A and B are shown apart, each in its own frame.
Chain A
Amino acid sequence: MYRYWKKRFKTTLEQDEELEAIKKELKKLVKKKFGGSLAIRMVDSGSCNACEAECNALSNPYYNLEELGIHFVASPRHADVMFLSGVMTFNMYHHAIDCYNQIPSPKWVIAIGDCVKDLGVFEKTYAIKGNSIEVTHYIPNCPPSPKDIIAGFLEFAREV
């Protein structure tokens, strides 16, 4: 069956040279600064789910972040970097900080999307606390596209 389907699999990907250049440099930097492996823990503190969808898209064949040695991990204790999205709600506040505290040092926080910085289009209500975790690098836009995220990640890797 494997051979049967392998023969029939004819799928092609459009190449994006700009993206490839970014990825190439990022891979080098990950190798140089993080020993070739960087683990990310994604925490949603009250987003609309678009930022999460874009982070999920990072592992599809077009972006394939894993080949650079960057991968999403299931526990904060395995992570180097925290991706933070959302407005930081009242109800998530303690949990998000708990999660941050569980990440071993050295650690960095990258904010995904406008919500983290200034709530984006949302306004302060009693149910929103706003972020108080120190952010190393902001990736703006609502939501940032996967390419924005990779480009933002490169900026972060250059700065660190």
Chain B
Amino acid sequence: MTQSAAKQTAPTSRGPSIHCIDLGLQLGGVEILRAINLKLEAGKIHCIIGPNGGGKTCFIRSLLGQMPHTGMVETISLQDDEPVIGYLPQLLDFDKTLPVTVSDFMAIVCNGLRPAFAGLGQQPRQLIAAALERVGFVANVNTRLGSLSGGERQRVLFAQALIPEPSLLVLDEPMNNMDQAGEKRYLELIKNLAADGVTILWIAHDLNQVRQYADTVTCINQTVVFHGSPAECLDQLNTGDLFHLATKRAITKDSDVTTTSGSTVGEST
């Protein structure tokens, strides 16, 4: 039942493409991002990598319109309506002793105007059960969020990103705290969603996963260090000196790099 529900709501190629034009961001006088020019195509898996503190999360939050950035971000959807964004935040920072169960959390996120303490409606209940099944959440929905393992909590977070069915999925390090079975399930799910035409932005750490699944990879350290297909970008580097090199290149010839990255977009399509 749950799978058929998922299929019904999945038309093809509905994700938006995203264009960044000269995107920059300053917070508290510190330059976090600068001169980012990118074209991210619709319905593809775009991985974002880069050193910690290099501005990946800020970049994504700028794309989502939550940062006072400069420059332009355009999301161009083939369909007329606004893209439905599913967002998996990096961490759910909350008091672990709070009496909030999995189903309470899903109610807070997805239940609209009906307060979480009044329980779930019939329709949300089915949607939520379906989403939890898709991410392979098997524990009891009446377990407190705080007593779940890291992997299970991550699954719950992923499940909320699937309600309502997104056309743009933004994943901020989805494999954090994830167990092996969960990673496999996630990768499968990401692949299927992309095949359904969902645009996926994925901040990733594991370069093997990037090689295997991404359509494009973008390394961000203040600005775009490189951008292109994983085969082109990753194979010439070995993972050990990737980020070291990334920092050096970003400082010395960033304008050069951004222009070449623009052309690699064209080639890889």
A binds B: no
Which residues of chain A have a CB within 8 Å of any CB of chain B?
none
